[in-house]
Amino acid sequence: MKKEVFLKELEYLLLDLPCEEQKEALAYFRDYLGEADDEEEAVRRLGSPEKVAAQIKAGLSDETGGEFTERGYQDGHFREDYQVPDQYAEMAVSGKDSGKEASDGNGCEEKQESGFADGADPEGCCWDSFAREGKSCREEWSKWRREKEQRYESRWEGTCREKENRQEKEAPRWWEYKEPKKERGSFFLFLCLLIFGLLAAKALLEAGFSVLGGILGVVFGILGSVFGLIFAALMGAIAAAGTGIGLIGAGIANLSSPAVGTMLIAGGFFLLAAAVLLLLLAGWGCSTAVPWMIRLVRNAARAVGLWLGRIFDSQRRMRGDSV
């Protein structure tokens, strides 16, 4: 049997399978036979198309019925009179080199060559199994199609090739392609959304400025308080130191009355200690708290600047888009 005859028969026998499986299997066996030095010998070694089709179909089912026996790999699915479409089961003849029979006397080979070359459906073809039965390929094909159409009614969409041809015809050519019309409704919707978006952005911006003002007020309030506290501590330290020195002086002057003098001196030292504490507090404020506050304000200002920049950018972009 010739390669093309084998592939054509196999294609027919796999028509029940999904298109992808048909294509994969046919491509594999076309490649496979293309590798062989002697195509007809390779076809003979593969076995009949019915057997190959049965193996492919069995491989797609979940059953794994095959096993190695003393006669090699065996699987009940692969008997040549098995798994072919029911109405043609009797046509599968096992163990014969059907290629020779097909060419006997009825001039089929010439018809096969011409029929297959243009890729037409069995128009003019003459498959071996049909030839052996003395049946017309065209009639058998018509019969098969009628049965399919009756069985699947409207769900039958034809063979893979017919489906592909139809899809190709239905798909618009590039010169026929037209831009789909834009609906006016969607334009108005876009306009409404744009206006609403701008208004919402404005309101949000205003609200944002109010919030920003509040935040700045709080920050500057805290900053002012800290400066105030440092200033107060400094002033307090000076006052306490002055008062303490004064009290110590008064205490020394009143040492004639030891109890009064001692109390005044002690009070003076206590105030001096308080002055030192206040001075330390003012010093910590100046060295630590004030720089920290300055850093805080600077970072906050930078963050606010970035935020405002982003808002203005997005607004500018929106205006640009709308123009």
Partner 1 sequence: MVFNTGAALLDAIVLSVVSAEAEGTYGYHITQEVRELLDVSESTLYPVLRRLQRDNCLSVYDKEYAGRNRRYYRITQQGMAQLNMYRGEWQIYSARITSILFAGRSSE
Interacting residue ranges for partner 1, rule: CB under 8 A: 21, 24-25, 27-29, 31-32, 34-36, 42, 45-47, 51-52, 55-56, 58-60, 64, 66-73
Under 8 Å CB-to-CB from 10, ≥6 apart: which residues? 25, 26, 29, 49, 52, 53
Residue 74: how many CB atoms within 10 A of its CB? 14
Q: How far is the CB of 201 from partner 1 (least distance, A)?
A: 51
Under 8 Å CB-to-CB from 285, ≥6 apart: which residues? 226, 229, 230, 233
Q: How far is the CB of 29 from partner 1 (least distance, A)?
A: 7
3-state SS, residue 197: helix
Q: How far is the CB of 60 from partner 1 (least distance, A)?
A: 8
Nearer to partner 1, 95 or 172 (CB): 95
Nearer to partner 1, 17 or 308 (CB): 17
Residues 271, 240: contact at Cβ < 8 Å? yes
Q: How far is the CB of 181 from partner 1 (least distance, A)?
A: 42
Nearer to partner 1, 70 or 153 (CB): 70
Q: How far is the CB of 47 from partner 1 (least distance, A)?
A: 6
Q: How far is the CB of 25 from partner 1 (least distance, A)?
A: 7
Residue 297 amino acid letter = V
Residues 248, 268: contact at Cβ < 8 Å? yes
158: tokens are 């034809």
3-state SS, residue 131: helix
Nearer to partner 1, 98 or 275 (CB): 98
Residues 73, 67: contact at Cβ < 8 Å? yes
Phi first, then psi, for residue 72 (nearest 5°) are 95, -165
Nearer to partner 1, 49 or 268 (CB): 49
DSSP letters for 228-248: HHHHHHHHHHHHHHHHHHHHH
Distance CA 93, CA 162 (A): 29
Element (H or E) spanning 148, and its range?
helix 137-152
Residues 116, 8: contact at Cβ < 8 Å? yes
Nearer to partner 1, 27 or 120 (CB): 27
Distance CA 234, CA 67 (A): 101
Nearer to partner 1, 55 or 282 (CB): 55
Q: How far is the CB of 40 from partner 1 (least distance, A)?
A: 14
Nearer to partner 1, 35 or 321 (CB): 35
Distance CA 193, CA 31 (A): 59
Q: How far is the CB of 27 from partner 1 (least distance, A)?
A: 7
